[in-house]
């Protein structure tokens, strides 16, 4: 059992969720409520990682993370290190690959809130920020939980993008999914089986906890 | 700019105009304790006007003032937020917060009070709308009528400066509607702020409102008490919007030094308004149902000698105790409508094709200025 790989996987999944959920809330709400030119284009852009082959997405990311490319150059200038074959690199790649999993459930949830609920809150004296915290957030909670579960689980299982951008560096970019692939390549089927079972267990537990959280809403069934 | 007299009496005055996207040209006022109904067909801008008062919609021109404060003034760029305006708004679908209990829904509007006060006040409000036992119920578990009451309590809890009701009775059944209307009429006695009710139901507006403002395509056409409005609509357009049928065209003529109204072959006596018109002028005129008097066959009737008209019954519709009768006027071709008690119709032997005599009461004939809008409105087939 490669505990280091499991740690990398969990760290990657947690960091992705932590960074992507606030962004997903903002983007999902904007796409659900605002009307602007080019909205359909933005939605298509967000959905793109969903339909792109992971290796293709990974390839483009790898290209743009290179020392010569704009993103890589910026990163080097800002943080003094490269992006390819680093944890920061796979985290950034994971953020891009998971964008639709975080944004879409949240956007759908915001779309179900009638506009006049927001207006009723304003007329009741709540500021836009209070309205967001006390009215909108509780109502999109199930969508938020779905986004969290999907992002976490998808990051744990992500293979193609991570392999292209990060390779398989122990303790840095080798996630559990990649470690399993390495084990199989080395004909260590037992090792692969144990790690696969572990990934299955962790994924199942995550989804269970997360959906348990989402289910606790009295008002729907009241 | 606050103006002392307006502040002291809490008036609401609205004067809004814009070309598009929703054309508006409306001005009306509402005094504290008064209930003004905005009436008009769908798309007449009623709800847009209500939203503009609440600060949820910003038209391109005009002013909204309430209780001496300028809430909106396009000229100076003033536009207060809905939070600052302090309006109580009851939405058509009530817009209750689904994740909050009835009590919590009301408490949201009481945020300005200390925590302990909030619950007490909200409970008091639930009591006032007779929902004491349902404080912990979620909106999904409340009936339509109960939801409406929670919405009303929430709107009033913040001591608003104006109460706005957007078709508040349209989502409930007939029996509940009657009860809620009665409750609103009683509640009105306890609150002294302007109340603006948006409705497309004329009966509801007549029953509840002190004054009615008739709207069409964003334009306010007339503001009057219901009684005055139904007797003296300002234009043929208003009459048609109010579903009044007896709107005709006539000509002012002079006979033996007296002005009369020529209607087809008939020359009618008119109590008021003819002196301001010049002979030869074409006018639109209107006669309320109540001012068409059927002559009894055996006995003389009230006003028998006033504008007697011979006609033939072309339509008779019995709606419970009331019979609606349409008469073809000979030989003009216009159709005159009136209503009478079904038993009276039977006693007088009214039947399809029967020849009858009616009088058009001179005091009821109302002359209207010709307006351009009437051409844009579909004339109801008479």
Report residue A222's pLDDT band, with 50, 70 and 90 as the boundaries.
very low
Across residues B168-189, what is the average pLDDT? 85
Beta-sheet strands, E only, within B77-156: 78-79, 87-90
Residue B17 DSSP SS3: strand
Predicted pLDDT at B381:
38
DSSP reduced 3-state for B131: coil
Taking any CB pair shorter than 8 Å as contact, residues of chain B touching chain A are 54-56, 81-83, 86-89, 91, 93, 95-100, 108-109, 111-112, 137-141, 154-155, 158
Are residues B138 and A134, on separate chains, in Cβ contact within 8 Å? no
Contact A123 B89 (CB under 8 A): yes
Would you place residue B10 in the very low, low, confident or very high pLDDT band (cuts 50, 70, 90)? Answer: confident
Contact call for B95 and A222, based on CB within 8 A: no
Q: Residue B297: its pLDDT value, please?
A: 72
Task: Go through chain A and tell me how many residues it has.
Answer: 222
- Predicted confidence band of residue A219 (pLDDT cuts 50, 70, 90): low
Q: Which residue in the block uniquely carries the two structure tokens 């300005």?
A: B112
Q: Across the interface, which of A116, A120, A138 has its CB nearest the CB of B99?
A: A138
Whether residues B281 and B354 share a domain: the answer is no
Poorest-pLDDT segment among A22-31, A203-212, B122-131: A203-212
The values of phi and psi at residue A3, to 5°, are -65, -30
Q: Are residues B87 and B195 in the same domain?
A: yes
Residue B82 has pLDDT above 90, yes or no: yes
Interface of A with B in 84-123 (CB under 8 A): 114, 116-117, 119-123
Helix or strand or coil: residue A168? Answer: coil
Measure the CA–CA gap between B57 and A121, rounded to whole angstroms.
15
**Contact list, A218 vs chain B (CB under 8 Å):** 138
Check whether residue B76 and residue B12 sit in a common domain. Answer: yes
Q: How confident is the model at residue A206 (pLDDT cuts 50, 70, 90)?
A: confident
B41 and B174 housed in the same domain = yes
Distance from CA of B88 to the nearest CA of A (A): 7
B192, B209, B235: which is the final residue of a domain?
Answer: B235
The Cα B296–Cα B305 span in angstroms is 13
Whether A132 shows a pLDDT value over 50: the answer reads yes
Who among B54, B96, B140 is closest to A123 (CB)? B54
Q: Say whether B214 sits in a helix, a strand or coil.
A: strand
The torsion angle over the Cα atoms of residues B287, B293, B295 and B296, rounded to 10 degrees, is 150
**Rounded to 5 degrees, what are φ and ψ at A166?**
-105, -20
Cα B2 from Cα B11, distance rounded (Å): 12
Domain coverage including residue B323: 289-294+303-359
> Please, which residues bridge with residue B336 across strands?
B327
pLDDT at B382: 34
| Spatial separation of the C-alpha atoms in residues B220 and B27, rounded to whole Å | 6
Beta bridge partners, B318, equal: B323
Residue from A114, A115, A118, A125 whose CB has the most chain B CBs within 10 Å, to mutate: A125
What confidence category does residue B2 fall into, taking pLDDT thresholds of 50, 70 and 90?
Answer: very low
pLDDT of amino acid A41:
94
Tell me chain B's radius of gyration from C-alpha atoms. 25
Give the separation between CA A39 and CA B116, rounded to whole angstroms: 46
Verify that B75 and B14 share a domain, yes or no: yes
Write the residue in B95, B109, B155 that is nearest to A114 by C-beta. Answer: B95
- Which two tokens mark B242? 């109010």
**pLDDT confidence bin for A221, thresholds 50/70/90:** very low
Hey, are the CB atoms on B140 and A222 less than 8 Å from each other?
A: yes
Q: How many CB atoms lie within 10 A of CB B188?
A: 17
* CA proximity to B249, closest of B273, B293, B281, B272: B281
Per-residue confidence (pLDDT) for residue A218, from 0 to 100? 57
Pair B275, B146 in one domain: no
Predicted local distance difference test score (pLDDT) of residue A42: 94
Q: 3-state DSSP call for residue B133?
A: helix
Q: What is the pLDDT of residues B325-334, one digit of tens each?
A: 999 886 657 8
Whether the CB of A134 is below 8 Å from some CB of chain B: the reply is: yes
B244 has a pLDDT exceeding 90? no
Q: Residue B209: which CATH number?
A: 3.40.50.300
Are B259 and B326 in the same domain? no
* A208 reaches B (C-beta below 8 A): no
Q: Which residues contact B53 (CB under 8 A, 6 or more apart)?
A: B12, B14, B64, B66, B71, B87, B162, B164, B196
pLDDT over 50 (residue B6): no
Q: Identify the CATH number of the domain in which residue B242 sits.
A: 2.40.50
Contact B215, B22 (CB under 8 A): no
Nearest to B158 among A125, A135, A217 (CB): A125
Which pLDDT band, with edges at 50, 70 and 90, does A122 fall under?
Answer: very high
For residue range B272-312, what is the model confidence (pLDDT) as tens digits? Answer: 888 888 888 888 999 998 888 888 876 666 666 788 888 88
DSSP code per residue over A16-41? HHHHHHHHHHHHHHHHHH---TTHHH
Percent of chain A with pLDDT over 90: 71
Asked whether the beta carbons of residue A125 and residue B98 sit closer than 8 angstroms, the reply is no
A133 and chain B in contact, CB less than 8 A: no
Structure tokens at B69: 């404060």
Q: What does the pLDDT read at residue B276?
A: 83
Nearest chain B residue to A139, by CA: B99
The distance of B239 to chain A (nearest Cα, Å) reads 34
Q: Is residue A126 classed as helix, strand or coil in its secondary structure? A: coil
- Quick one: B282 and B217 in the same domain? no
A-chain residues within 8 Å CB-CB of B93? 114, 116
Sheet of B247-255, strand order: B266-268, B258-263, B247-255, B282-286, B366-368
Residue of B nearest to A127 (CA): B83
Residue B196: pLDDT above 60? Answer: yes
CA gap A33, A111 in Å, rounded: 7
Token pair of A189 as six digits: 């089927």
pLDDT tier, B354 (very low <50, low <70, confident <90, very high otherwise): confident
- Would you call A140 an interface residue with chain B, using a CB distance cutoff of 8 Å? no
Q: What is the pLDDT of residue B304?
A: 65
Chain A residues with CB under 8 Å of B88 CB are 123
Among B117, B197, B194, CA closest to B157: B117
Residue B201 pLDDT more than 90? no
* B29 and B149 together in one domain: yes
pLDDT tens column, B41-61: 888 889 999 999 999 999 999
Q: Same structural domain for residues B133 and B276?
A: no
Q: Is the pLDDT confidence value at A179 over 90?
A: yes
Beta bridge partners of A35: none
Q: How close is the nearest chain A Cα to the Cα of B131, in Å? A: 17
Q: Do A219 and B88 touch (CB under 8 A)?
A: no
Cβ-based contacts under 8 A for chains A and B: 69
What strands lie across the sheet with B195-199, from one edge to the other?
A: B78-79, B69-73, B61-66, B12-18, B24-30, B219-224, B211-216, B35-39, B195-199, B162-166, B87-90
Q: Which residues pair with B26 in a beta bridge?
A: B16
Q: How far is the CA of A128 from the CAs of A4, A117, A131, B82, B95, in angstroms?
A: 45, 12, 5, 11, 16
Tell me if A139 and B98 make a contact (CB, 8 A cut-off). yes
Q: With residue B308 as reference, give the H or E element that holds it.
A: strand B308-319
Q: Which pLDDT score, from 0 to 100, does residue B298 have?
A: 65
Do B156 and B181 meet the contact criterion of CB atoms below 8 Å apart? no
The domain that holds B329 is classified in CATH as 2.40.50.100
Residue-by-residue DSSP string for B215-254: EETTEEEEEE-HHHHHHS-SSHHHHHHTT---EEEEEEEE
CA distance linking residue A184 with residue A195, whole number of Å: 11
Average pLDDT of span B329-358:
85
Q: Are A13 and A158 in contact (CB under 8 A)?
A: no
Task: Compare CB distances from A116 to B88, B95, B98 and report the shortest one's residue.
Answer: B95
- Neighbouring CB atoms inside 10 A of A133's CB total 12
Do residue B182 and residue B269 come from a single domain? no
Instruction: Report how many domains make up chain B.
Output: 3
Q: A134 to chain B, minimum CA–CA distance in Å? A: 9
User: Does B220 share its domain with B173?
Assistant: yes
Give the residue-averaged pLDDT of A52-68: 91
Q: What DSSP state is assigned to residue A176?
A: H
pLDDT in tens, B245-260: 888 888 888 888 888 8
Interface test with B, best of A123, A125, A221 (most B CBs within 10 A): A123
Tell me what ipTM this predicted complex has: 0.81
Taking the C-alpha atoms of residue A107 and residue A206, their distance in angstroms, rounded to an integer, is 22
> Min CA distance, B168 vs chain A (Å)?
14
- How many CB atoms lie under 10 A from the CB of residue B358? 22
| Contact status of A39 with chain B (Cβ, < 8 Å) | no
Between B190 and A97, residue with greater pLDDT = A97
CA-based nearest distance B79→chain A, Å: 15
Tell me how far apart the alpha carbons of residues B292 and B289 are, in angstroms, rounded to a whole number: 6
The reported pLDDT for the residue numbered A215 is 66
pLDDT for res B258: 85
């Amino acid at each position: 059992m490669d505990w280091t790989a499991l740690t990398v996987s969990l760290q990657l999944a947690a960091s992705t969720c932590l960074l992507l959920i606030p962004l997903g809330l903002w983007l999902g709400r904007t796409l659900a409520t605002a009307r602007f030119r080019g909205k359909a284009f933005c939605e298509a852009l967000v959905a793109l990682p969903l339909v792109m082959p992971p290796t293709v997405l990974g390839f483009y990311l790898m290209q743009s993370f290179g020392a010569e490319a704009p993103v890589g150059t910026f990163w080097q200038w800002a943080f003094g290190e490269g992006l390819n074959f680093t944890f920061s690199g796979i985290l950034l790649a994971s953020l891009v690959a998971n964008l639709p999993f975080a944004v879409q459930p949240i956007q759908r949830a915001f779309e179900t809130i009638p506009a006049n609920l927001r207006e009723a809150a304003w007329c009741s004296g709540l500021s836009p920020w209070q309205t967001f915290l006390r009215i909108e957030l509780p109502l999109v909670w199930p969508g938020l939980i779905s986004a969290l579960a999907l992002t976490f689980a998808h990051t744990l299982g992500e293979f193609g993008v991570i392999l292209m951008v990060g390779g398989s560096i122990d303790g840095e970019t080798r996630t559990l999914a990649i470690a399993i692939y390495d084990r199989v390549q080395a004909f260590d089927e037992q090792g692969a089986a144990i790690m696969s079972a572990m990934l299955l267990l962790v994924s199942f537990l995550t989804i269970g906890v997360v959906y348990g959280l989402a289910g606790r809403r009295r008002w729907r069934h009241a | 700019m606050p103006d002392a007299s307006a502040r002291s009496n809490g008036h609401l005055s609205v004067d809004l105009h814009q070309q598009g996207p929703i054309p508006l040209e409306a001005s009306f006022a509402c005094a504290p304790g008064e209930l003004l109904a905005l009436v008009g067909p769908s798309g007449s801008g009623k709800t847009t006007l209500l939203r503009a008062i609440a600060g949820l919609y910003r038209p391109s021109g005009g002013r909204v003032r309430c209780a001496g404060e300028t809430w909106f003034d396009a000229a100076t760029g003033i536009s207060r937020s809905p939070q600052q305006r302090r309006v109580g708004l009851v939405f058509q679908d009530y817009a209750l917060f689904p994740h909050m209990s009835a009590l919590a829904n009301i408490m949201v509007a009481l945020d300005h009070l200390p925590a302990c006060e909030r619950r007490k006040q909200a409970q008091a409000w639930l009591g006032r709308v007779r929902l004491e036992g349902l404080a912990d119920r979620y909106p999904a578990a409340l009936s339509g009528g109960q939801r409406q009451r929670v919405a009303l309590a929430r709107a009033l809890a913040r001591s608003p400066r104006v109460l706005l009701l957007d078709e508040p009775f349209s989502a409930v059944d007939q029996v509940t509607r009657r009860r809620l209307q009665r409750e609103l009429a009683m509640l009105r006695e306890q609150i002294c702020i302007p109340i603006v009710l948006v409705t497309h139901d004329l009966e509801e507006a007549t029953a509840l409102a002190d004054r009615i403002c008739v709207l069409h395509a964003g334009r306010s056409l007339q503001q009057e008490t219901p009684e005055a409005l139904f007797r003296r609509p300002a234009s043929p357009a208003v009459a048609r919007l109010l579903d009044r049928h007896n709107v005709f065209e006539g000509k002012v003529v002079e006979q033996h030094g007296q002005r009369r109204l020529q209607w087809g072959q008939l020359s009618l006596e008119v109590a008021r308004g003819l002196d301001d018109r010049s002979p030869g002028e074409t006018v639109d005129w209107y006669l309320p149902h109540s001012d068409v008097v059927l002559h009894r066959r055996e006995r003389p009737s009230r006003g028998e000698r006033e504008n007697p008209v011979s006609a033939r019954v072309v339509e008779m519709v019995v709606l419970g105790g009331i019979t609606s009768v349409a008469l073809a006027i000979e030989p003009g071709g216009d159709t005159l409508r009136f209503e009478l008690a079904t038993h009276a119709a039977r006693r007088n032997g009214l039947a399809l094709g029967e020849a009858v005599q009616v009088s058009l009461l001179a005091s009821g004939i109302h002359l209207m200025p010709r307006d351009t809008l009437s051409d844009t409105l579909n004339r109801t087939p008479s």
